[in-house]
Amino acid sequence: MPTRVPLILGAGSFGVPNTNTTRIHTLPEAQAVVDRFLSYGQNGIDTSRSYGYGTSEEFLGKLDLHGSLVDTKIPPKEPGGFAPDKIRASFQASLKALGPHKIRVFYLHYPDRSDKHVPFEDTLREINELHKSGQIQEFGLSNFFAWEVAEFVGIARANGWIQPTVYQGRYNALDRAIEPELIPCLRKYGIRFYAYSPLAGGLLAGRNISDDGVVDAPGSRWDPTASSIAPVFYKFYGPVFPVLRELKDVADKRGIKLAEVAHRWLQHHSALGPNDGVLLGVSNVGHVDANIKYSEGGPLPDDALKLLDDAWAKARNLVLPYGKRRILLAVLHS
């Protein structure tokens, strides 16, 4: 059964051990995940030059993707990281790592807001050359503000260059910061939106939550002794814990998993449409099955929707800006 909003496989979990975001560390495991995802008729695989310090792309380059194209991203690894020569070098590294696979969308992963940032025009000129040479199909932006998106579009139109056609950003039932400003901007310019962090950093995966925090946190990103980002999660999501406990009770009574609530909200009650997408971050084949099954479900009952709206009302003045800096990027891709 097709989902209303298409799904994209996030390959940020692929790569060697002890690197950022990776949880699938062998090629057979990664191949099994890809095969299962594609078996549902979904099509689209997302990665970044930064995931697994480059090993996510290297894993994909050794897998059979059955003709699927790959979306990848370039991060500004240093101030001035979007200079034309650095874009070209990063792109060539991605191309080499991905081996036989073609690049569909080439994203700027997040803004370079340093004192040495490169003018957008210089960056876009180089990306346009990649497009003219047939090496990429589309240009995308991720984690930029709406005004920055509009500036890229204006530069592209003025010069007859490739325009951004995809935007990837953080979006879930507990974090709707993109809705007032970014979504109208994207709709105006015909840009698709791909949502990452559908489970709010794992909070909507059904974790056991008490008044003091996440009970089943040891060793996870929610464990303050094991994760430097845990205090950030608690700061921004802590106020919604009581509502989430109530929501989990409602879901349990209806035989619905909290993760299913999250995915069904994105499919039927969010600002997303059939031309947009939702990224799935998975650790095993079982996660693929579960998340796709959840996404195929219908609209949510009214009591669950009300609790999600209540949770957002508590979180809306606390969540991170949708256009952000590097420090908080990797932790929310789940």
Question: Going from the N-terminus, what domains does the chain have, and what CATH number goes with each?
Answer: 7-204+260-300 (3.20.20.100)
What percent of the chain is predicted at pLDDT more than 70? 93
Please state the rounded mean pLDDT for residues 262-280: 98
Q: Verify whether residue 51 is a known catalytic residue.
A: yes
Distance between CA atoms of residues 247 and 174, nearest Å: 12
Confidence bin at 327 (pLDDT 50/70/90) = very low
Please state the rounded mean pLDDT for residues 96-112: 97
Confidence bin at 329 (pLDDT 50/70/90) = very low
Confidence bin at 90 (pLDDT 50/70/90) = very high
Of 19-23, 41-45, 270-274, the one with minimum mean pLDDT is 19-23
Distance between CA atoms of residues 327 and 322, nearest Å: 13
pLDDT at 231: 81
Distance between CA atoms of residues 141 and 119, nearest Å: 15
Distance between CA atoms of residues 150 and 223, nearest Å: 39
pLDDT at 205: 86
Main-chain dihedrals φ then ψ at residue 325, nearest 5 degrees: -90, 175
Distance between CA atoms of residues 132 and 111, nearest Å: 24
Say which of 40, 51, 110, 189 is annotated catalytic.
51
Q: Cβ neighbours of residue 246 under 8 Å, at least 6 residues apart?
A: 307
Q: Which residue has the higher pLDDT, 138 or 207?
A: 138
Whether the full predicted model's pTM is greater than 0.95, yes or no, is no
Q: How many Å is the Cα radius of gyration of the chain?
A: 19
Residues, the chain, total? 334
pLDDT exceeds cutoff 60 at 334? no
Q: Establish how many alpha carbons lie within 13 A of residue 123's alpha carbon, considering only the half-sphere containing its beta carbon.
A: 28
pLDDT at 331: 41
Dihedral over alpha carbons 312, 317, 323, 324 (to 10 degrees)? -110
Please state the rounded mean pLDDT for residues 288-313: 95
